[in-house]
Amino acid sequence: MSLDRGAREKLVRALAASMIEHAEELTSLDQAIGDGDHGLNMKRGFEAVLATLPGLADKALPEMLKAIGMTLVMKVGGASGPLVGTFFMELGKALPEQPARTDLVAAADKAIDAVKMRGRSEAGQKTLLDVLVPVQAVFAGGGDAKAIAAEAAQAADRTTPMLATRGRASFLGERSIGHMDPGSRSASLLISAAIAALEF
Ligand code: ADP
Ligand code: MG
Ligand code: MG
């Protein structure tokens, strides 16, 4: 997959637009089982990313992804900034400039491992890993864009009945059950936005 400058800018704008458009929804999910700032955190982070355009899109894809990650780590307070930022940074570090699908699969594996390390977390704990890990399984298994987007949405839904054992929601114990994990919802939205922008 080779992304020209226009495609890179389109990707960044699509990711940012999805976080800005869904900020209220993400915040209300976080009001139920966290501290009610997830929408604001993601919106602030991606507004900071947008502010680095047009120069951001001049960079080759790996450098651009690293820069997005660094901005998110720096500008977003809370757990999600370092975790989502780490994902983008490690994805960028692991990708060649003109990645084939197999390169993307390998890079996403490394990025997910880095998120696990940073969060000291695994899938099954009601966090964004409960979207990243199953979506990666579909992607690595050869799933097309439609299958990947569908899995992202379903995986976020599947966090609703889960018990949170990481992050702020874990402080609620059993009361975390019955609400969708905000970070899983934002991860699902980012994946769908990326797929729509890349038209693969
Ligand atoms: P904070 O909880 O610090 O206010 P946010 O509200 O922005 O940060 O993000 C919360 C989201 O971060 C959660 O919904 C969850 O998906 C994710 N998260 C929190 N802690 C972890 C962790 N240790 N590992 C993976 N993801 C986590
Ligand atoms: Mg929060
Ligand atoms: Mg917070």
**Residue 181 CB–ligand 1 contact under 6 Å:** yes
Give the angle subtended at the CA of 157 by the CAs of 150 and 16, to the nearest 5°: 70
**Residue 116 CB–ligand 1 contact under 6 Å:** no
Token pair for 15: 């990711």
Q: What is the CATH number of the domain that holds 130?
A: 1.25.40.340
Q: Residue 118: what pLDDT?
A: 98
Q: Residue 2: what pLDDT?
A: 76
Domain count, the chain: 1
On the question of pLDDT at 200 being above 80, the answer is no
The torsion angles phi and psi of 105, rounded to 5 degrees, stand at: -60, -45
Q: Residue 106: what pLDDT?
A: 98
Question: Using CA of residue 105, residue 144, residue 62, residue 97, what is the dihedral sign?
Answer: positive
Q: Residue 181: what pLDDT?
A: 98
The torsion angle over the Cα atoms of residues 24, 46, 12 and 74, rounded to 10 degrees, is: -150
Q: Residue 198: what pLDDT?
A: 92
Q: Residue 32: what pLDDT?
A: 98
Amino acid at 161: P
**Residue 41 CB–ligand 1 contact under 6 Å:** yes
Confidence band of 199 (pLDDT split at 50, 70, 90): confident
What value does the mean pLDDT take over residues 9-14? 98
Cα of 41 from ligand 3 centre, angstroms = 8
Predicted confidence (pLDDT) per residue in 67-114, tens digit:
999 999 999 988 999 999 999 999 999 999 899 999 999 999 999 999
Statement: the pTM of the whole predicted model exceeds 0.90? yes
On the question of pLDDT at 44 being above 90, the answer is yes
Rounded to the nearest 5 percent, the helix, strand and coil shares of the chain are: 75, 0, 25
Q: Residue 136: what pLDDT?
A: 98
99 in Cβ contact with 116 (< 8 Å): no
ipTM rounded to 2 decimals: 0.99
Cα of 34 from ligand 1 centre, angstroms = 9
Predicted confidence (pLDDT) per residue in 17-43, tens digit:
999 999 999 999 999 999 999 999 999
Cα of 191 from ligand 1 centre, angstroms = 17
**Residue 43 CB–ligand 1 contact under 6 Å:** no
Predicted confidence (pLDDT) per residue in 145-183, tens digit:
999 999 999 999 999 999 999 999 999 999 999 999 999
Predicted confidence (pLDDT) per residue in 131-148, tens digit:
999 999 999 999 999 999
Q: Which domain, by its residues, includes 40?
A: 5-198
Q: Residue 70: what pLDDT?
A: 98
